[in-house]
Amino acid sequence: MYDCFGAGQQVSQVTFAGRDWRQDPQAAAQMFAAFAIMRQLHELLWYLAAALALAPARAVHDELRRALTATAAMTGSPVDALLELDIQAHRERVNAVLLQASELVRAQIPGGKLDYRGADLAGARLAHADLTGANLRGARLIGADLRRASFGLADLTGADLRTASLHGADLAGSLFLSQSQLDAADGDTSTKLPPSLTRPARWSPPAESSTPTS
């Protein structure tokens, strides 16, 4: 499922002051372009707020707050200024401090950690894998078997979890897992989730072994 992080309402109600692109076709192209940028800004705000909630990342909290303030200010820009933003450059600056926050938190796990940043793990067989403290930022995990895997303090920023099997997996302590990532994956009622996220209604109950009948 797609998550706009509240960008759609911001564009329609604030940037365009309630104008409806269906009733104002001439503004439609500009509104869609503005939404594409606004969605990225709101996504960054979500990540920054999540990082600020991580006590082990306190060394970069001031930088995170500055990034949050700057990003929030951008969301209130007039449409012309919004369309002129160098959103890619801003994302890179924010991602740099988010990565620092992630590294500080994951440093709580002693020893070496798995680094799958940007890795293509589509269809990988990782059932029961210990991914504690792993860097999975941007990893491609489409259709991966992650049943009963452990994700304690694993950074899942931007990981593609479409149709990944999370049945029985422990995601409760994972970092930067969004609702849209969860909605795109498969799981069941035994999958452990962060308290801020909602279990997709379509997820099934855990499979049970058949019981012989007399």
pLDDT tens per residue across span 87-132: 999 999 999 999 999 999 999 999 989 999 999 999 999 999 999 9
pLDDT tens per residue across span 69-92: 999 999 888 888 888 999 999 999
Q: Please report the pLDDT score of residue 77 as a whole number.
A: 83
Q: Two tokens at 105?
A: 């938190």
Phi, psi of 192 (to 5 degrees): -90, 130
Give the CA distances from residue 133 to residues 12, 81, 100, 142, in Å, rounded to whole numbers and listed in that order. Answer: 39, 39, 14, 20
Mean confidence (pLDDT) of the chain:
88
Tell me which of 3.40.50.920, 2.160.20.80, 1.25.40.10, 2.40.30.10 is the CATH number of domain 111-201. 2.160.20.80
In 74-104, which positions are buried (b, 16+ CB within 10 angstroms) versus exposed (e)?
bbebebeebeeeebeebbebbbebbbbbbeb
Share of the chain above pLDDT 70, in %: 83
List the domain boundaries for the chain: 7-106, 111-201
pLDDT tens per residue across span 9-29: 665 665 554 566 566 666 677
Q: Please report the pLDDT score of residue 38 as a whole number.
A: 85
Q: Please report the pLDDT score of residue 78 as a whole number.
A: 85
Contact 42, 7 (CB under 8 A): yes
Q: What is the mean pLDDT of residues 137-166?
A: 98
Q: Please report the pLDDT score of residue 1 as a whole number.
A: 46
d(CA 5, CA 75): 12
Q: Please report the pLDDT score of residue 32 as a whole number.
A: 80
Beta-ladder partners of 130? 150
Q: What share of the chain is helix, strand, coil (3-state, %, to 5)?
A: 40, 10, 50
Angle between the N-to-C axes of helices 87-106 and 25-52, in degrees from 0 to 180, rounded to the nearest 10: 20
Q: What is the mean pLDDT of residues 188-192?
A: 96
Whether 211 shows a pLDDT value over 80: the answer reads: no
Three-state DSSP class for residue 191: coil
